[in-house]
Structure 1
Amino acid sequence: MSKVSTCLWFNNDAEEAVAFYISLLPNSRIDHILHAPGPWPGGKAGEIILIKFVLNGQNYQALNGGTAADYGTAASIAVECADQAEIDRLWAALSMNGGAGIACGWLRDRWGVPGQIVPEVLPRLLADPDPAVSSRAFTAMQSMIKLDAAALQNAALG
């Protein structure tokens, strides 16, 4: 097991967030829940303080920090999607209840966690050896909020 994981900070709703996240992706689960052994600045003894979980094979932790945190945009959870149906499903789930699209496949969920919902084809289009193909795909991507795999492919083809 990897000793490296990403830790996401929540006010006091880590359990709700983790249950939501693991419902969205296959190969996801909660591995361990740590309850505070005593009172702490964010809460009382016995409350959930940390949840170790897996999202589609990747290790994460969710910390109930007791105060709101601002995630910024320097890091995000990126999901490469096999098809448009998966993009649409994840986008709808993550952008509901206060979540919102940003640009170029980026969004923030209701907890403010930034994410990228990206079609698997996009990295291939952007790395195409023909600069005209990659440029057209890049330009098309920049005009979108939620990415449309077919539109990106069509733009790349000219």
Structure 2
Amino acid sequence: MRKITTCLWFDGRAEEAAEYYTSLFPDSRITGVQRHTEAGPGEPGSVLLVTFELAGQQFSALNGGPEFTFSEAISLSVDCADQAEVDELWAKLTDGGEESQCGWLKDRYGLSWQIVPHELPELLNDADPAAAARVMKALFGMRRIDVRALREAAGR
């Protein structure tokens, strides 16, 4: 058990979401499912909490009800090795979700993600301030991040 675990609040779809998320990333798995008992507030046998790992990081998904929903105030950021990984995750996570800008999206459950190519911080921190500014300007015009277009903006 890790000291800190991110808990995600769902309205009845915690197990479905955990199964979906673990299908997207290598080194991911569901580690436990806790069900309501006769003494609990939920329907006996229904899922209360799902624990799972995404790329080795621990999460829990709680079926807490409709009181709270996700907002952009929290997001999961994924460091992608290359354009192919960006494209694959973007396609899977926007399926039933919605695109935003600068590599941000909301998935089908309303959770915000940042799909970020590993090269982006290097391009944004270019030693040439003009090149970095061009990269930032190009980035703000994108939804799914296009690494080649960012490289071109940097003059590479």
Aligned residue number for residue 56 of structure 1: 55
| Cα distance in 1 between the residues matched to 2:123 and 2:40 | 49
> Which 4+ residue blocks in structure 1 deviate beyond 4 angstroms?
none
Aligned residue number for residue 149 of structure 1: 147
Residues 1-158 of structure 1 aligned to structure 2 (within 5 Å): 1-38=1-38, 40-41=40-41, 43-67=42-66, 69-97=68-96, 99-157=97-155
- Matched position secondary structure for 2:139: helix
| Cα distance in 2 between the residues matched to 1:5 and 1:149 | 32
| Cα distance in 2 between the residues matched to 1:62 and 1:119 | 27
Q: Tell me the amino acid that sits aligned with residue 69 of structure 1.
A: F
Question: Residue by residue, what CA displacement relative to the aligned partner does 1:71-127 show, whole Å, maximum 9, x if unpaired?
Answer: 111110111111111111111111112x01011100000110000111110011112
Unmatched segments (≥5 aa) in structure 1: none
Question: Residue by residue, what CA displacement relative to the aligned partner does 1:115-152 show, whole Å, maximum 9, x if unpaired?
Answer: 01111100111122221221111111000011111111
| Cα distance in 1 between the residues matched to 2:9 and 2:40 | 15
| Cα distance in 1 between the residues matched to 2:24 and 2:132 | 31
Computed over aligned residues only, the root mean square deviation of the Cα atoms, in angstroms, reads 1.5
Percent identical residues? 47
Name the TM-score, length of structure 1 as normaliser: 0.92
- Matched position secondary structure for 1:129: coil
- Matched position secondary structure for 1:103: coil
Unmatched segments (≥5 aa) in structure 2: none
In the alignment, is the contact (CA less than 8 A) between 1:10 and 1:68 conserved in 2?
A: no
Question: Residue by residue, what CA displacement relative to the aligned partner does 1:51-74 show, whole Å, maximum 9, x if unpaired?
Answer: 111111111110111226321111
